[in-house]
């Protein structure tokens, strides 16, 4: 019995002499949500965002493929385009003024317009298949409404492959698999010179008139003005965007329609209607502004004004 106690006591002494390693506490995470934030960024980050696109033109027309996608058989141009593609597949494109060019190869009745009722988008990715192989994956969206002046907004989600490398985004015809615009841009002096060679109206200007120059109406009645862009024959059909406004602005200022539409030079007028109230008596200025949206008058602006007298 005493021998057993001695053995137990000896074992206890030996254990007490062994060094003890203290467990160090885990330092607090300075950003406990970092992993979650990174995951959200991974899911929602932009793969690609852009502020310009390139209309099918020159060597891309008809017979040259990009990633297996063929350009339209006629040249197109656009006023502006922005968009983004995120890692979770959200695709957003806003395109304005995507229309046929005013070049000789385009039939006169198509110049400066879009003849499609809808546009689609195509996302092209190079993806890793494994086993040292890569392939191209093209995903096409459904159609989104497009105006005759070439305006369209595409907002959708596409099913991206497991990896999407070197993405390219196209705006396609709504009726056939041909592209009108692609992510990219015309850059450098060489591109500008090419455009100058092709343009028949380079260096020319257009004018804008508002008629009648003075309109007198009784309070409580309606009125109408016409905004007309004109220019040399070389600019016929080249499109401008026109908006009309009235000033000064008070609580009694007549209401006007403010058309923000496009029309070809030498192709007629855009009406501007106004409605006066019985308290609208006074003199007002109608101001129209036209901005060129096609080459060779891109960005060129003209203004004209008229007077409205309400008695």
Maximum distance among all Cα pairs of the chain, rounded to whole angstroms: 128
CA atoms within 13 A on the CB side of 237: 18
At 188 the pLDDT is 60
User: Phi, psi (5° rounding) for residue 157?
Assistant: -125, 130
d(CA 268, CA 50): 36
At 204 the pLDDT is 67
At 39 the pLDDT is 38
At 143 the pLDDT is 96
Q: Which two tokens stand for residue 181?
A: 């615009």
At 283 the pLDDT is 94
At 176 the pLDDT is 92
In sequence order, the 6+-apart residues with CB closer than 8 A to the CB of 187 are: none
Q: Which two tokens stand for residue 22?
A: 């203290």
Number of H helices, E strands in the chain: 3, 23
Q: Which two tokens stand for residue 165?
A: 């490398």
Cβ-based burial of 87 (10 A; exposed 0-12, middle 13-18, buried ≥19): middle
Say if CB 237 and CB 206 are below 8 A apart: no
At 181 the pLDDT is 96
Q: What is the pLDDT along the chain (311 residues), one digit of tens a residue?
A: 444 444 443 444 443 444 433 333 434 444 444 444 443 334 468 899 999 999 999 889 977 789 999 999 999 999 999 999 999 999 999 999 999 998 888 898 899 999 999 999 999 999 998 888 999 999 999 999 999 999 999 999 999 999 999 999 999 999 999 999 999 987 764 443 333 333 334 456 899 999 999 999 999 999 999 999 999 988 888 888 888 889 998 888 999 886 667 888 999 998 999 999 888 899 999 999 898 877 778 778 899 999 999 99
Cα dihedral 256, 260, 261, 265 sign:
positive
User: Phi, psi (5° rounding) for residue 208?
Assistant: -130, 135
At 189 the pLDDT is 45
251-271 burial, b at 16+ Cβ within 10 Å, e below that, comes to eebbebeebeebbbbbeebbe
The residue behind tokens 């099918």 is: 56
DSSP conformational letter for 146: B
Instruction: Write down the domain spans for the chain.
Output: 44-198, 207-310
CATH class name, domain 207-310? mainly beta
């Amino acid at each position: 019995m005493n021998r057993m106690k001695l053995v137990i006591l000896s074992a206890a002494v030996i254990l007490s002499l062994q060094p003890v390693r203290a467990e160090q506490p885990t330092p607090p995470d300075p950003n406990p949500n970092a992993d979650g934030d990174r995951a959200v960024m991974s899911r929602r980050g932009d793969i690609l965002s852009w502020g310009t696109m390139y209309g099918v033109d020159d060597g891309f027309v008809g017979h040259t493929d990009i990633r297996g996608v063929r350009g339209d058989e006629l040249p197109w141009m656009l006023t502006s385009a922005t968009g983004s593609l995120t890692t979770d597949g959200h695709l957003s494109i806003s395109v304005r003024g995507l229309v046929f060019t005013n070049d000789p190869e385009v039939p006169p009745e198509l110049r400066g317009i879009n003849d499609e009722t809808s546009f689609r988008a195509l996302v092209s990715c190079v993806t890793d298949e494994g086993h040292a192989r890569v392939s191209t994956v093209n995903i096409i969206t459904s159609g989104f409404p497009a105006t005759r002046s070439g305006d369209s907004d595409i907002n959708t989600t596409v099913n991206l492959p497991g990896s999407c490398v070197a993405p390219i985004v196209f705006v396609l015809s709504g009726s056939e698999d041909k592209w009108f615009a692609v992510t990219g841009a015309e850059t450098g002096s060489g591109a500008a010179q090419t455009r100058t060679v092709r343009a028949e109206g380079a260096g020319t200007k257009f004018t804008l008139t508002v008629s009648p120059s003075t309109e007198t109406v009784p309070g409580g009645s309606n009125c109408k003005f016409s905004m007309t862009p004109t220019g040399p024959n070389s600019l016929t059909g080249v499109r401008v965007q026109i908006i009309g406004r009235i000033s000064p602005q008070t609580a009694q200022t007549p209401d006007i329609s403010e058309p923000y539409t496009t029309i070809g030079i030498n192709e007629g007028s855009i009406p501007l209607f106004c409605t006066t109230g019985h308290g609208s008596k006074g003199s007002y200025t109608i101001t129209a502004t036209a901005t060129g949206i096609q080459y060779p008058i891109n960005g060129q602006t003209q203004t004209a004004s008229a007077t409205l007298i309400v008695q």
